[in-house]
Structure 1
Amino acid sequence: MNSQQGKSPKKNSREWFDALIIAAIFATFLRVFVVESYRIPTGSMENTLMAGDFLFVNKYVYGAKIPFTDSRLPVIQPIQRGDIIVFKFPKDRSLNYIKRCVALPGDLLEIRDRKLYVNGKESALPEYAQFLGEPMTKGVGDFQIFPRFSPFNKDYYGPLQIPKKGDVVELTPQTYSLYSSLIADEGHDVSLTGSLVFVDGSPASSYTVEKNYYFAMGDNRDNSLDSRFWGFLPETDIVGEAMMVYWSWDPDLPLLFDPVNKLGSIAWHRIGLMVH
């Protein structure tokens, strides 16, 4: 006798409901701890990644963040220089950004004539990276560049030490713009009055860094809002590592009003592309 015979519609509906709940829990677990989809919204990583690419992001490799806490799962592989990472934008954590990690906690970073140096050694330009704008002159500061009031610009930057947990940094009026946002982000009140820096209401000549930080840059070096503009990337904001392009089409064509051209814009040659 068929085991399904004799079951009431109510019991069948309950079984389907239970199966859907289990599937939803499993899908949520995968999304939170294992892999998540991400869409490339801008051209800051061209020509490595293109606007309109859809990616899978590996969240467990760096230790996925446990929701509603500051804790993480164990790290499978630490972040490496050159990894393409997805992270919460430190200035607006409702936004996800994607860039290439170019320097690790404790590294000394410098850009000279568009060439990147880490710990005194030149870092090779990524295979598909590009420059689109005119080169800038050394010593000509850019008011948009981090830290404010420095002589840095996008093509001549640093040298700059990337903070790591346990570093003791000097606090002066000259270093205030370099470390003030870091200190505030670590949960402290920080201010500058005259020649004194105050942390949590007390004068402070130094500060012990509580987190590890990274430096991230886009492969499209002249069209990327990256660490050169907003500063150090906290380890706690890193979501995961980009893995693979699973879909790609023109993001500017509306599917609803122009479905033929939208479907015709599918970049079949990019589907399945491993990200590096």
Structure 2
Amino acid sequence: MKLKVRYKFPPGEEYQEKIASEPAEEDKVEAKNWFKPLIIAIIAAIIVKSFIFEAFRIPSGSMEDTLLPGDFIIVSKLGFPVKTPKYLPFTRIEIPQIEVLPQIYSLKHGDVVVFKFPGEKNEVQASENVNYIKRLIGLPGDVVQIIDKVIYINGSRFLEPPSVKVNYEFITPRGLPNPYIFPEGSDFNEDNYGPITVPFKGMKIELNKENLKQWQIMIEREGHKVELADEKILIDGVEASDYVFEKNYVFVMGDNRNNSLDSRYWGFVPVDNIIGKASFIYWSWNSDIPFLNLPEKIKSIRWNRIGRKIK
């Protein structure tokens, strides 16, 4: 009696198909050869971006004529503190930060710095996670004052770089308060501001009903709850007549003095928020020209600005 054997595939075809579905040994080696350098490149890029430098684009004219819209700059992070992320990736959920490397660079008057925006005048936490670039005017402990658009630090005139734009044709007189100016309840305006002391870690201020508005937002930004109840000032539920700052701060301004939202409008910047110091311009063109008009975009390249050191 003969047995009939039925094959789903012709003899050998099933085996060949199985072999064909598995990558050849050469393919595995080739994939490994390019995968390893890719991982190394990604790690190197993360290290460079976190510890050495980062690229930024200038979106507005608040730093004219030092920086123009369409300038692309390199920001040096060398010497600045390195911390773990403040938020969970792709969320606004805050997580505890750990300082990986401490700050060793000494901030100087006139430094052009990139920093995380601390928030609007009445915001405890910024509604947007964005970076700003401004010139450092006041260091921790400095007394900042603006008289008829002229800046004074600790009583001495601040040395302005030649690229600063100031329009002296109209000056808002002292005593005419601007309601959009920081701090809340002051009689300051954008042209006549201060005197005001830039807070430093350990600085003690007296608190009363008259000046509470001025300092409340700063205290809340340091993580405390401030209340006024039954004529008493409460910080975290405890009656207080003074407050000691826990962080160092700086006062920053844009070089386009008449067209810059800066510390005059939203307050001091924690030193911890500073990402790095602007180093040089690596590319520049007219940001108003769309990429669809590529010939005009290329014509707008500002060759004389490329490679320029930022002062």
TM-score band by shorter chain is over 0.9
Alignment match, 1:154 = 190
Alignment match, 2:111 = 83
Alignment match, 2:210 = 174
Alignment match, 2:20 = none
Consecutive unaligned residues of structure 2, counting only runs of 5 or more, are 1-23, 87-96, 120-125
CA distance in 1, matches of 2:47, 2:172: 47
Amino acid at match of 2:132: Y
Alignment match, 1:236 = 272
CA distance in 2, matches of 1:184, 1:70: 21
Asked whether the equivalents of residues 81 and 99 of structure 2 are also in contact (C-alpha less than 8 Å), the reply is no
5 Å matches for 1:53-202?
A: 53-68=71-86, 69-91=97-119, 92=126, 94-132=129-167, 134-193=170-229, 195-202=231-238
What's the C-alpha RMSD, in Å, of the aligned pairs? Answer: 1.6
Consecutive unaligned residues of structure 1, counting only runs of 5 or more, are 1-5
1:130, distance to aligned residue in structure 2 (A): 0.9
Structure exhibiting the larger radius of gyration computed from Cα positions? 2
CA distance in 2, matches of 1:139, 1:194: 31
Asked whether the equivalents of residues 245 and 275 of structure 1 are also in contact (C-alpha less than 8 Å), the reply is yes
CA distance in 1, matches of 2:230, 2:71: 49
Asked whether the equivalents of residues 62 and 240 of structure 1 are also in contact (C-alpha less than 8 Å), the reply is yes
Amino acid at match of 1:175: N
Alignment partner of 2:260 out of 216, 224, 229: 224
Kindly, what percent of the aligned residue pairs are identical? 43
Number of matched residues?
270
CA distance in 2, matches of 1:198, 1:43: 42
Deviation readout 1:61-98 (Å, 9 max, x if unpaired): 32333435242523332111100000000013511000
Q: Which TM-score applies when normalising by structure 2? A: 0.83
CA distance in 1, matches of 2:172, 2:230: 33
**Corresponding residue SS for 1:94:** coil
**Corresponding residue SS for 1:242:** strand
CA distance in 1, matches of 2:98, 2:269: 16
CA distance in 2, matches of 1:259, 1:191: 57
1:124, distance to aligned residue in structure 2 (A): 1.7
Amino acid at match of 1:56: I
Amino acid at match of 1:31: K
Q: Which TM-score applies when normalising by structure 1? A: 0.93
Amino acid at match of 1:14: K
CA distance in 2, matches of 1:23, 1:70: 25
1:32, distance to aligned residue in structure 2 (A): 1.2
Deviation readout 1:158-212 (Å, 9 max, x if unpaired): 0101110001111112222222111111111112346432210122111110000
Asked whether the equivalents of residues 186 and 214 of structure 2 are also in contact (C-alpha less than 8 Å), the reply is no
